[in-house]
Structure 1
Amino acid sequence: MWNSLDFRYWRCVLKRTTMCPDPDIKFFLYTSDSRPGKQVDLRSHSSLRYAGWDPGKKNVIVIHGFNGTESKTPMSFIRQGYTSRGDYNVFTVDWEPLTKFPCYLSALSNTRLVAQCSAQLYSHLTEHGALAKNTHCVGHSLGAHICGMMSNHLSSKQYKIIGLDPARPLIDRYSSSEFRLTRDDAHFVQVIHTNAGALGEEAQVGHVDFCVNGGSYQPGCTGHRLRQARCSHFQSACYFAATISEERQHLGIPCSTSCPKRGRSLGLRPGPSVPMGEDTPDNASGTYCVTIRRSMDCPFS
């Protein structure tokens, strides 16, 4: 009985099914030639072609986090960054009905189904000729953990995952490695920390981790403490989006592994700088500190 019913309490939706596709989880394809995005139906062998998929381009799967949607900020900044380049097929995962405020507990549970269905999207692409090395997953907050959890449903490891301030509440204490992003989920995992220790994970999660402006609270975020945390949490997506389309790189300097940085010391270490984001070398490793000006912040409301 539980496998066929959803439990709806107030506005919360708790999925009890393990069946994909699911009507509350949608996939859209954006290209440099298509606006708005076109929905992809994995049950149809011709859906990719009709949506405008170019098998000669690279692919990115973008997954939003708690209380988010694929169509609004900050995820739209990432999508626009990739489409402006012209060399990417941009797939977005929209699971908005399953992750609405204040339903964080049910959203946590729903990440398992979202990961399962998103893994089907990944497999659908590779079955139609996409190369694993040319396909990566970018996730913000809970979306970062979904990128990692997709690996539970794939026969071959993903090539690259980029986690944008992976969500921390409850996950840091109660989730096993199977249900969170770890460096074992892909050949290369990059993580960008902007609210570590509050809404974002503070431990070194990936092969390479970037602590931006100390990694905790971003200088352009004001208001009460929760508002500052939410704003800082979102900035990870905005900072990453800036690395996709801009020619100027945001360089990280080797530093100590703790994130966030406390006090005035960043624990800087000798070694070459590494660009953060889209241009990060796939062989990079360790923790790096990045300083970004307040003018680079994106709008938050």
Structure 2
Amino acid sequence: MTIRKTWYIYTCGDRKTNHNIYYESPPGIQFENALLQIAPVDKGKCPYVRDNNDIVFQLYTRHNPTVAHSLVIDDDERLFASSIDFNDRTVIYFHAFMETPDDGSGLMIREAYTHRGDTNVIMVDAQRLEAGPWYFKAAENTWYIGRIGAQFIDYLVSR
């Protein structure tokens, strides 16, 4: 068991007063394949906090089967510097509650497709939004994960 410290600061703009509200990310403990946090991240209270950090898109291909290229929505420079091949199939994998994209079924999916050699595998890492033991809050955060995932797919298709 390893303790994983998180030191992220969340800011949420109050549209009525134009003031920012600051939230510190809850500390977490990595236990086997699960991330357990002391408190949930509530995207319902502040849905537009840290869009590029709450969800990370990790690209794996035959050229980089074990080390991910991080992709960011609207970052063409990073996209075209990565090993993505737009002629190959693309598989996008969203992990489940208390999972990580680097272990268990995520690892199995990634290895299976990268060994085929003709597939871009994009692992959607939303661990902090789906951390345990906060199942109901994680379930509520799925709308946000889906929204950002859809924006990412739209971005890829537009390129």
Letter in 2 for 1:118: G
Considering only aligned residues, what root-mean-square deviation do their CA atoms show, in Å? 2.2
Q: Which of 1 and 2 has higher RCO (CA within 8 Å, sep 6+)?
A: 2
Letter in 1 for 2:41: V
Letter in 2 for 1:29: L
Larger radius of gyration: 1
What's the TM-score, normalizing by structure 2? 0.72
How far the C-alpha of 1:92 sits from its partner, in A, is 0.7
| Total equivalences in the alignment | 127
Asked if the contact 1:27–1:94 (Cα under 8 Å) also holds between the matched residues in 2, the reply is yes
Matching of residue 24 in structure 1 with residue 60 in structure 2: no
Which of 99, 105, 124 pairs up with 1:74? 105
| 1:44 corresponding residue in structure 2 | 75
| 1:114 corresponding residue in structure 2 | 145
Structure 2, unaligned stretches of length 5 or more? 1-13, 27-37
Structure 1, unaligned stretches of length 5 or more? 129-301
Letter in 1 for 2:56: K
Partners of 1:106 and 1:124 in 2: CA distance:
28
Q: Map 1:1-301 to 2 at 5 A.
A: 1=14, 10-15=38-43, 16-19=45-48, 21-34=51-64, 35-128=66-159
How far the C-alpha of 1:11 sits from its partner, in A, is 2.4
Asked if the contact 1:31–1:52 (Cα under 8 Å) also holds between the matched residues in 2, the reply is yes
Moved more, 79-88 or 10-19: 10-19
Query: Deviation string for 1:90-127 (max 9, x for gaps)?
Result: 11100001111111011011111110110111111110
What's the TM-score, normalizing by structure 1? 0.39
Partners of 1:105 and 1:78 in 2: CA distance:
26
How far the C-alpha of 1:24 sits from its partner, in A, is 1.4
Identity rate, percent: 28
TM-aligned CA distance change 1:8 to 1:23, over 3 Å: closer
How far the C-alpha of 1:18 sits from its partner, in A, is 3.5
